[in-house]
Amino acid sequence: MVYIYFFTLKPEQHMKHFLFFLLFLPLFLSAQVSGENFLNAKYIGEMKNDMLNGHGRAVFSDGSYYEGEWVNQRRQGYGRAIMRDSSYYEGNWINDKRDGYGTYVFTNGSQYKGEFASDMMHGKGRYKFPDGDIYIGTFDSNRISGYGTIYYHDGDTFVGQVMSGHANGQGTYYFANGKKYVGEFKRDSRTGNGVLYLPNGERFEGIFADGKMKQGKYYFNNGEIFEGMMRSAIPNGNGIMYFKDGSSWEGNFINGLEEGSGKYTAPDGSTKQQDYSGGNPVKN
pLDDT of 14 over the 80 cut: no
**Contact of 191 with 184, CB cutoff 8 Å:** yes
Closest CA to 245 of 278, 223, 229, 263: 223
Parallel, antiparallel or unpaired: strands 97-105 and 111-117: antiparallel
Predicted pLDDT at 41: 84
pLDDT of 198 over the 60 cut: yes
Read off the DSSP letter of residue 63. Answer: S
Read off the DSSP letter of residue 8. Answer: -
Q: What would the mean pLDDT of 177-196 be, rounded to a whole number? A: 92
Parallel, antiparallel or unpaired: strands 203-209 and 225-231: unpaired
Sorting pLDDT into bands at 50, 70 and 90, what band is 284? low
Predicted pLDDT at 34: 38
Amino acid at 203: R
Q: What would the mean pLDDT of 116-130 be, rounded to a whole number? A: 95
Q: What would the mean pLDDT of 226-248 be, rounded to a whole number? A: 91
Query: How much is the mean pLDDT over the chain?
Result: 85
Give one word for 112, left, alpha or beta, with left for phi > 0 and alpha for psi -120 to 50: beta
- 95-117 pLDDT, tens digit per residue, is 999 999 999 999 999 999 999 99
pLDDT of 242 over the 80 cut: yes
Predicted pLDDT at 38: 52
Distance CA 284, CA 276 (A): 10
Predicted pLDDT at 173: 92
| Segments making up each domain of the chain, as ranges | 12-23+84-282
- 21-43 pLDDT, tens digit per residue, is 433 343 333 333 433 355 578 99
Closest CA to 259 of 232, 282, 231: 282
Please give the CATH topology (third level) of the domain spanning 12-23+84-282: lipopolysaccharide transport protein A fold (2.60.450)
pLDDT of 170 over the 60 cut: yes
The neighbour count for residue 24, using CB atoms within 10 Å, is 11
- Helix, strand, coil fractions of the chain, as percent rounded to 5: 5, 60, 35
Predicted pLDDT at 96: 93
Closest CA to 280 of 260, 251, 255: 260
**Contact of 19 with 166, CB cutoff 8 Å:** yes
Predicted pLDDT at 23: 39
Sorting pLDDT into bands at 50, 70 and 90, what band is 200? very high
pLDDT of 259 over the 80 cut: yes
Give one word for 176, left, alpha or beta, with left for phi > 0 and alpha for psi -120 to 50: alpha
**Contact of 179 with 201, CB cutoff 8 Å:** no
